[in-house]
Structure 1
Amino acid sequence: MAKPKIGVIVGSNSKTSINKQLAHGLVNLVQDQADFEFLDLSGLPIYNRDDDADAYPAAFTAFKDKVRGKDGILLVTPEHNRSVPAYLKNALDGASRPYGSGAWNGIPAGIIGTSTGGPATSMAQQHLRNIIVFLDMPAMAQPEGFIRWTDRLVSADGKVAEASEKFLRGYMDHFLAWVAKHPKQ
């Protein structure tokens, strides 16, 4: 059986994103079990509904094609003001439009994120889960991944700390099983 194709979307545009570091650590844990591709959001314009009727932005069309080629999507998100970062929400909105041509439909997804604060990214993940369910993405509910960041969580070379490896590997194993159980429609 072919390895699943997983799109990894990091909801941060920070050059020093701890969520990007977490995403690389997660992929390194199970890199032999799937083909992972980090989907870059940096070239996407701000979504504008007026574009639905006009020429849709080429950057969104190319992004949608990449999304459609995936068997699953791993969303790794920070939390901004107790919600989903605008950077990530813009990508979700743009790739769901024009109406009837959304790229997300039927693609299973997992959500995880890290923050230095106590509740980690729990509110952003709750909001994100509501959004992706509306976009018709089967959303993995358990295990939840509200990860408190420490400088030792993921090393510079992408290795997850031993103290967190069991949980994070389990999360990724469960995510890959979720993708296999919910083949995209």
Structure 2
Amino acid sequence: MTDTRVAVLVGSLRADSVNRKIAELLRDNAPAGVTLDLVEGLEQLPFYNQDIDTDAAPEVVTAVRERVATADRVLAVTPEYNGTMPAVLNNAIDWLSRPYGAGAIAGKPFGVVGATPTPYGGKWAHEDTVRSARIAGAVVIEDVTVSQPAVEVDPTTDPEARAKLLAALDTLVQGQPADAA
């Protein structure tokens, strides 16, 4: 597939976050014809509130929705906070899911990768992200999920970890959802 744009939702707000570094690594090593667009502004999204989700929704909401809606695929790159996905990512998915069935994320092939300094690498957060994205209407590509432990390994420099992450991106770009095959 060529000329593919992947919207990347980074679940960590910290500037020096390993997950932001993973997103940048994937962006900088994307296959030819693939552009990774790290969607900025997630920290500026107000908590989802149907009262303000109107035609006059906050400008940042409209901008984030537009960036995801115009992408071909969506990739969440996220750590795990207290056994689940970070609130900023959950809130972004809430905004992207509306209007239900026709939100910016609806019908988009979706994957999740990330690292956490635990032996499980963020597995619970990734499971929650997949579940939430699927309910929001995204089409989850199962073989994309990578939960990389970052206890003794820097996933941005370790050859094995990098290979898994880059393979996941390739699967997201090339793969078809199981129910679409």
Residue of structure 1 in register with 2:17 after alignment: 17
Alpha-carbon distance in structure 1 between the residues aligned to 2:54 and 2:4 = 34
Query: How far did residue 31 of structure 1 move?
Result: 4.6
2:158 paired residue among 152, 157, 161: 161
Residue of structure 2 in register with 1:177 after alignment: 174
Alpha-carbon distance in structure 2 between the residues aligned to 1:154 and 1:119 = 14
**Partner SS, residue 175 of structure 1:** helix
Give aligned-pair identity as a percent. 27
Show CA shifts across 1:2-42 (max 9, x none): 41011111011112211101111222332534011110113
Residue of structure 2 in register with 1:5 after alignment: 5
Q: Following superposition of structure 1 onto structure 2, how do residues 117-136 of structure 1 map, counting pairs within 5 Å?
A: 117-136=118-137
**Partner SS, residue 111 of structure 1:** strand
User: Which amino acid is 1:16 matched to?
Assistant: D
- Does 2:146 match 1:149? no
Q: Alignment RMSD, CA only?
A: 2.5
Query: How far did residue 130 of structure 1 move?
Result: 0.8
Residue of structure 2 in register with 1:49 after alignment: 50
Alpha-carbon distance in structure 1 between the residues aligned to 2:152 and 2:30 = 22
Query: How far did residue 117 of structure 1 move?
Result: 0.7
User: Which amino acid is 1:163 matched to?
Assistant: E
Show CA shifts across 1:116-164 (max 9, x none): 1111110011111111111111101115301112576356xxxx43233
Normalized against structure 2, the TM-score is what?
0.86
Alpha-carbon distance in structure 1 between the residues aligned to 2:99 and 2:50 = 8
**Partner SS, residue 44 of structure 2:** coil
Residue of structure 1 in register with 2:67 after alignment: 66
CA change 1:180–1:130 in 2 (3 A) is closer
Residue of structure 2 in register with 1:107 after alignment: 108
Residue of structure 2 in register with 1:81 after alignment: 82
Query: How far did residue 182 of structure 1 move?
Result: 9.1
Comparing 101-110 with 143-152, greater Cα deviation is found at: 143-152
Residue of structure 1 in register with 2:28 after alignment: 28
In the comparison of the two structures, how many residue pairs are matched?
179
